[in-house]
């Protein structure tokens, strides 16, 4: 071995790239895309920010948003006024703590899926080989990447 490093992801992304990770995360957590449909009736909502995120966009992308629904809970992702990626969670019959926990789980899954996609794209661009990929709910995703230096 040569070194071990631990990193905290920083998301600096265009809206389309982030939207891909959001859609992947939502699907893996059992959410369905909410498109042009009535939002479920709600009593409470909370807002969260995806930490260390910045959505790089032009004027056209500023009002982009993506909504998902699962069991009466609606999660909406949007770029906020400061350019950060944020999400709001709404659901009737749930406490603020429960809504917050749902939002945190979704936010973490988005970060995870964004990092996986970015790592795959970067190692692919360098013609490195992903020789193994495993996924475990408790330990996360593990990628083994190899290359041979000339």
Partner 1 sequence: MPQREFQITISPEGEVEVEIRGYKGKAACANIAALFEEMIGEVRSFQNTSEAYEPEETVRITQQH
Contacting positions for partner 1 (CB under 8 A): 1-11, 52, 108-109, 111-112, 115-116, 118-119, 122-123, 128, 137-150
Residue 49 to residues 57, 88, 142, Cα–Cα distance (Å): 17, 9, 26
- Taking the least distance from each CB to partner 1, the nearer of 72 and 140 is 140
Residue closer to partner 1, measured from CB, 13 or 74: 13
Q: How many residues does the chain have?
A: 150
DSSP 3-state of 21:
helix
Name the residue nearer to partner 1 (CB basis): 28 or 92: 28
112, burial (CB in 10 Å: exposed 0-12, middle 13-18, buried 19+) = middle
CB contact at 8 A, 133 and 125: no
For partner 1, the closer of residues 33 and 142 by Cβ is 142
Q: Give the max Cα distance, the chain.
A: 61
CB of 5 to partner 1, least distance (A): 5
Give the shortest CB-100-to-partner 1 separation in angstroms: 15
Smallest distance, Å, CB 31 to partner 1? Answer: 17
């Amino acid at each position: 071995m040569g070194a071990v490093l631990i990193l905290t992801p920083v998301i600096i992304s265009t809206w389309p790239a982030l939207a891909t990770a959001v859609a992947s995360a939502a699907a893996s957590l059992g959410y369905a895309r909410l498109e042009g449909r009535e939002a479920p009736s709600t009593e409470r909502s909370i807002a969260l920010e995806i930490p260390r995120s910045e959505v790089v966009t032009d004027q056209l992308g500023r009002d982009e948003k993506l909504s998902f629904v699962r069991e009466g809970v609606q999660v909406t992702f949007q770029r906020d006024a400061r350019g950060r990626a944020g999400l709001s969670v709404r659901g009737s019959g749930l406490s603020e703590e429960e809504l917050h926990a749902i939002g945190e789980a979704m936010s973490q899954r988005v970060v995870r899926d964004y990092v996986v996609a970015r790592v795959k794209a970067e190692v692919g661009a360098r013609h490195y080989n992903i020789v193994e990929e495993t996924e475990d709910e408790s330990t996360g995703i593990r990628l083994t990447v190899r290359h041979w230096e000339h």
